[in-house]
Structure 1
Amino acid sequence: MSQILSFLPKFIYGQLFITPPAPTKDCAGKTVIVTGSNTGLGLEAARHFVQLNAAKVILACRNLEKGEAAEKDIESTTGRKGVVEVWQLDLTSYESVKAFAKKSQSLERLDILLENAGIAPPNFKLEEGSESTITVNVISTFLLALLMVPKLQETAKKHNTVPNLCIVSSEAHFFTAFPERNSSSIFDKLNDRSSARMTDRYNLSKLLEVFACREIAQDHPVSQFGVTITSVNPGLCHSELIRPEAPAVVRAFMTVMKAVLARTTEVGARTLVDASLRGQEDHGAFLSDCKVTEVAKLVTDEPETQTRVWRELAAKLEQIEPGVTKNLERGVSAKL
């Protein structure tokens, strides 16, 4: 609780008085994938990449019809046609994630994978054998990341560049006490319907993302890995994350918070683009307001918890796709 109270003034100040700068870095020749990009932050991030002259921007969406509408919207506002493509990706399905990654191997290059898609469901529901928030925000997110590492490393080697893997996390990771870490199996505990704290589940999923990003970066320096990995907080934005089926009290609270503090999705998306274009000196960093910032005290105080989270997550990923964690070990000097 003390950490939350100490964080709140910084959060409120940032929302009211800090406006992240619009991105200006040229993306000519780059291929970019943005997940969850038919609406909200993902859509606006994709629009920025098109405006920054990216050669190809792939909208990875569960609903193709909505994705195609987003494509037309981007084309109409940027005046650039033939740049945006819409590919199907459903993070509630591991087979969909695998199929998307397989299709991506046909790309000539991949410079940026921006994993923006996420959910905050109010009710406990299983997807692929795990609670849906954990399936989408954590397991499928890192399954896709690891499946795409070979293409990112191939791009690094062929084009003498350092591609970026960016995970959209949140300052919400400050707001969880993460009591599940005291269980013998963290992910098994998260699947316990009787003890699930769904009002905290989104916050917790964002903490797990921060842990995983930091552990991967710690174990795999850019000099060997060939890819920069970051996590980013877009701040409180006018997005569709809180669904209509959420409890009335939650919807009412968020309505007031957004009315007073929220950024537009375009402004929030600036932080996503900035993080996706960071250099290798920011490998493993957590970014907010377009600058490297601190993570929750729980993260810095408990490195052993970070390692344990990653080991449990890696074991799950191996069950889904045997050998996938070996993609982290290959390095850019390996035969791709």
Structure 2
Amino acid sequence: MPKITKFVRDQYTTLPVPQPPADMASATYIVTGANSGLGLECAKHLVRMGARRVIMAVRSRSKGETALSAIRSATGRPHAGEVWELDLASPDSVEAFARRVDALDRLDGLIANAGVAMSTFELVGGMETTVMVNVISTMLLAFRTLPKLSEWARRGGKLTNLVIVSSNTALEPELEQKVASLRGDVFDALSVKEGFAPFDQYPMTKLLEIFAVRQLASIIPVSTSGVVVNTVNPGLCYSDLDRNLGTMARLGMAVTRRVLARTSEQGSRTLLHAAFAGPESYGAYCSECQVKESDIPAWITSAVGKSMQKRVWTDLLKRLESIGHGVDIEALAAK
């Protein structure tokens, strides 16, 4: 965790509710993991702000419909919102979801909020579950929705937004040596049971997200894509992120949250800020409803850090190709 005094100060920062874009009444947004916690509150804000379409991407349709019913009741918009199924443990599910996205008439923003933290080692598709969900499938979703976001940016004459929800735990100084010590393919190294450490794995996946987004931004400038790509830290919030952790870990989280946590609604404001942010946030790290590149440690921005960034990127593209979900980055850059 970042330096404790800064962390506490950040947690107690008053967060504003960001002002929506002027064309909100005709806008379309997608929020993943929208049936609970931050995703639910973010979707609720978007509905309350008057967005024409708010697509709640969820693994469980029944839970999604229950959440949507609650949002409609809370906002007084009985016909707002829709539920689409998305299982980030399955790249095939991501592809099916992306085909539906491709049929949309417009897309103003994707808020990739869904993620997991695991206390036990589990493989899915040959990769550790946290790695698959938080990095492989999340970035695949980003790659597959980027063309639609770019298309609307051109047709609509406005910037669109692609937000990857990360975490300040990714900036822990201990991760510098841990990521540098990974041997061979990054994703193989993080999918070995003997090396699995629950309290390291989640922050590591959030760090890989930051590396991937920064590399994507370095390859495809916002002037070419029209899409503002960024990462956001919602801070410590009340949520069900710890649902897959062990009893003692959940107890520890409960105690910490009682003292320091934001509500899910407060945390969701940071997601909205990133989703409405302009080119000043391109490739950047956002936190406390601000662009906070100053929070990114030197070991990430240094020459060594950029080398690791490229390594993560290369391994990511190779992995997607090897599992049958390759990405043509040159084609994306040309759009």
Q: TM-score range by the shorter chain?
A: over 0.9
Instruction: Choose the corresponding residue for 2:307, options 294, 297, 304.
Output: 304
Instruction: Choose the corresponding residue for 1:177, options 145, 152, 175.
Output: 175
Q: Quick one: distance in 2 between partners of 1:323 and 1:256?
A: 43
Please tell me whether residue 260 in structure 1 is matched to residue 271 in structure 2.
no
Q: Quick one: distance in 2 between partners of 1:209 and 1:296?
A: 15
Which residue identity is paired with 2:276?
Answer: L
Report the counterpart of residue 270 of structure 1 in structure 2.
269
**How big is the shift at 1:282?**
1.5
**How big is the shift at 1:327?**
4.5
**How big is the shift at 1:193?**
1.0
Which residue identity is paired with 2:6?
Answer: K
SS of 1:32's partner is strand
Computed over aligned residues only, the root mean square deviation of the Cα atoms, in angstroms, reads 1.4
Q: Quick one: distance in 2 between partners of 1:28 and 1:106?
A: 20
Which deviates more, 290-299 or 209-218? Answer: 290-299
SS of 1:254's partner is helix
1:124-203 alignment runs, 5 A limit? 124-175=121-172, 176-177=174-175, 179-182=178-181, 183-203=183-203
Please tell me whether residue 329 in structure 1 is matched to residue 324 in structure 2.
no
**Identity between Structure 1 and Structure 2 (%):** 42
Moved over 6 A (4+): none
Q: Quick one: distance in 2 between partners of 1:118 and 1:13?
A: 25
SS of 1:304's partner is helix
Runs of at least 5 residues in structure 2 that lack an aligned partner in the other structure: none
Q: Quick one: distance in 1 between partners of 2:199 and 2:331?
A: 35
Q: Quick one: distance in 2 between partners of 1:181 and 1:198?
A: 18
Please tell me whether residue 123 in structure 1 is matched to residue 120 in structure 2.
yes
Instruction: Choose the corresponding residue for 2:11, options 12, 15, 18.
Output: 15
Matched-pair contact (CA < 8 Å) for 2:143–2:327: no
The C-alpha deviation readout for 1:215-241, integer Å capped at 9, x for no partner, is 111121111122110100001000001
**How big is the shift at 1:329?**
1.8
Report the counterpart of residue 235 of structure 2 in structure 1.
235
Q: Quick one: distance in 2 between partners of 1:53 and 1:128?
A: 39
The C-alpha deviation readout for 1:276-306, integer Å capped at 9, x for no partner, is 1111121011000001112234312311111
Matched-pair contact (CA < 8 Å) for 2:112–2:164: yes
Q: Quick one: distance in 2 between partners of 1:323 and 1:41?
A: 29
Which residue identity is paired with 1:321?
Answer: H
Report the counterpart of residue 19 of structure 2 in structure 1.
24
Which residue identity is paired with 1:316?
Answer: R
Matched-pair contact (CA < 8 Å) for 1:147–1:327: no
Which residue identity is paired with 2:100?
Answer: K
TM-score of the superposition, structure 1-length normalised? Answer: 0.93
Q: Quick one: distance in 2 between partners of 1:327 and 1:62?
A: 30
Report the counterpart of residue 295 of structure 1 in structure 2.
296
Matched-pair contact (CA < 8 Å) for 1:180–1:190: no
Which residue identity is paired with 2:170?
Answer: H
Report the counterpart of residue 71 of structure 2 in structure 1.
74
TM-score of the superposition, structure 2-length normalised? Answer: 0.93
Which residue identity is paired with 1:232?
Answer: V
Count how many residue pairs are aligned between Structure 1 and Structure 2.
Answer: 325
Q: Quick one: distance in 2 between partners of 1:41 and 1:274?
A: 13
Q: Quick one: distance in 2 between partners of 1:323 and 1:259?
A: 43
**How big is the shift at 1:99?**
0.3
Q: Quick one: distance in 1 between partners of 2:253 and 2:202?
A: 14
